[in-house]
Amino acid sequence: MDDPALSSPRHLSRRSLMTTGVLAAGAMGVAAPAVGTPLTGPARASAGVTKRVTLYAEQLPGGLYGYGLAPGQATVPGPVLEMYEGDTLEITLVNTTNQRLSIHPHGVDYSTDSDGSPLNASYNGPGETRTYVWRSREMFAASGRRFMPGSAGYWHYHDHAMGTDHGTAGVAKGLYGALIVRRRGDILPEKQFTVVFHDMTINNRMAPDTPMFEANLGQRVEWIAIGHGNLFHTFHLHAHRWADNRTGMLEGPSDPSQVIDNKDLNPGSSFGFQVLAGEGVGPGVWMYHCHVQNHSDGGMVGLFLVRNADGSMPPGAEEAIHRFRGHTHQHGR
Ligand SMILES: [Cu+2]
């Protein structure tokens, strides 16, 4: 690829911003020096903020486990955790269960004692409370006329200690959730939906008990899609599409990002995007589903209800929901 610093005026301006220190990079001072000598030393020193959150890992009915922001509020998936590039998130995880468990993030920086893995003795024993520190960084100019990427992205977190050294039992039972690292200036959504394709389930549920997400026509909706388990999946959303880049939006009329409505969603991977609900197609009941045919037939399908702009139900919506809830699935392969 071309050096973005040379091929894009936008990146040139970003680089010049960095030299003035406007783009402050918080926690990257401790990053591995092997990535190269930064061109802008002083700009990297300025501090991001530290956010603190307490999470409670709890046992749920049906053999499930979840993370929650308060006692008794654990969900599958867990809450969406968010931070801005350059900031630090300190997570105090309270383990209310009698199982070994942890929280392990994707996409951010952490030291071995926040790894969440038994390998590094980084987990909560039964009933134990432990604090994990996740750092993030902004893009910066590196040696060789390169830019090191920042942390911004649609990531996720999950248990890495229950059952096996990889948290296989914890993940299987619902200990997972979305992590969003935003770049300053990113557009914030009005609604967020986390969709986890996990073995033959969506958020550990099968149709017709999968989540029905709702929005009013024109609302800005953010989808965060995450893969877990042992199967290959593809995420498809009816009647909406997005750009296959960091935000899902085109950054201008010549943005070369491919526009898609279907994307691989394999174990450990994640992506996100924003759509305006029903834009160009109107309100109605739209499906989201795995596009592996025996997975959608087997129950990996849910509904995206786009109501009228005033929140009322569009014609045909009740009937469609009724059809969905009444239908049966073949569970064969
Ligand atoms: Cu699938």
Tell me the pLDDT tens digit for each residue of 78-113: 999 999 999 999 999 999 999 999 999 999 999 999
- Dist. CA 262 → ligand 1 center (Å): 12
Contact by Cβ (8 Å): 27, 109: yes
CA of 264 to the centre of ligand 1 (A): 9
Reading across the β-sheet that carries 234-237, which strands appear in turn? 212-216, 301-307, 284-290, 234-237, 262-264
Residue 150 scores a pLDDT above 50 = yes
Ligand 1 center to 181 CA (angstroms):
26
199 CA distance to ligand 1 middle (Å): 7
- Burial label for 305, CB within 10 Å (0-12, 13-18, 19+), is buried
What the block records as the tokens of 306 is: 């786009």
- Distance, CA of 260 to CA of 32 (rounded, Å): 36
pLDDT of the residue at 100:
98
Which 3 state secondary structure label does DSSP give 42?
helix
Once rounded to an integer, what is the mean pLDDT over residues 133-137? 97
Query: Band of the pLDDT at 31, cuts 50, 70, 90?
Result: very low
Distance CA(40)–CA(72), nearest Å, equals 47
Distance CA 243, CA 258 (A): 6
Distance 301 CA to ligand 1 centre (A): 9
**Does residue 248 carry a pLDDT above 70?**
yes
Over residues 166-187, mean pLDDT: 97
CA 234–ligand 1 middle distance (angstroms): 6
From ligand 1's centre to the CA of 257, what distance in Å?
Answer: 25
The alpha carbon of 69 and the centre of ligand 1 are apart by a number of angstroms equal to 29
The pair of three-digit structure tokens given for residue 139, joined into one six-digit string: 């893009």
Instruction: Determine the distance separating the centroid of ligand 1 and the alpha carbon of 282, expressed in angstroms.
Output: 27
Specify the pLDDT at position 328.
52
Look up residue 205 and give its DSSP letter.
B
Q: What is the pLDDT of residues 180-197, one digit of tens each?
A: 999 999 999 999 999 999
Whether residue 44 is predicted with pLDDT greater than 50 in this model: the reply is no
Q: Where are the beta strands (DSSP E) in 190-253?
A: 191-198, 201-202, 212-216, 220-228, 234-237, 242-243
Q: How far is the CA of 227 from the centre of ligand 1 (A)?
A: 9
Instruction: Report the separation in Å between the CA atom of 328 and the middle of ligand 1, taken as the mean of its atom positions.
Output: 18
Confidence at residue 3, expressed as pLDDT on a 0 to 100 scale: 38
Interval between CA 287 and ligand 1 midpoint (Å): 14
302 CA from centroid of ligand 1 (Å):
13
The CB density around residue 32, as the number of other CB atoms within 10 Å, is: 8
CB burial readout 80-100, b (16+ within 10 A) else e: bbbbbbbbbbebebbbbbebb
- pLDDT score of 271: 98
Count of CB atoms situated within 10 Å of the CB of 232: 14
How far does the centroid of ligand 1 lie from the alpha carbon of residue 231, in Å? Answer: 7
* Ligand 1 center–CA 237 separation, angstroms: 13
Tokens of 10: 């936008």
* CA 121 to ligand 1 center in whole angstroms: 34
Tell me the pLDDT band of 46, cut-offs 50, 70 and 90.
very low
* Secondary structure (3-state) at 209: coil
Please give the distance, rounded to the nearest whole angstrom, from the Cα atom of residue 297 to the centre of ligand 1.
10
CA angle 168, 172, 176 (to 5 degrees): 95
Q: How far is the CA of 266 from the centre of ligand 1 (A)?
A: 9
- Residue 111 confidence (pLDDT): 98
Q: What is the mean pLDDT of residues 172-186?
A: 97
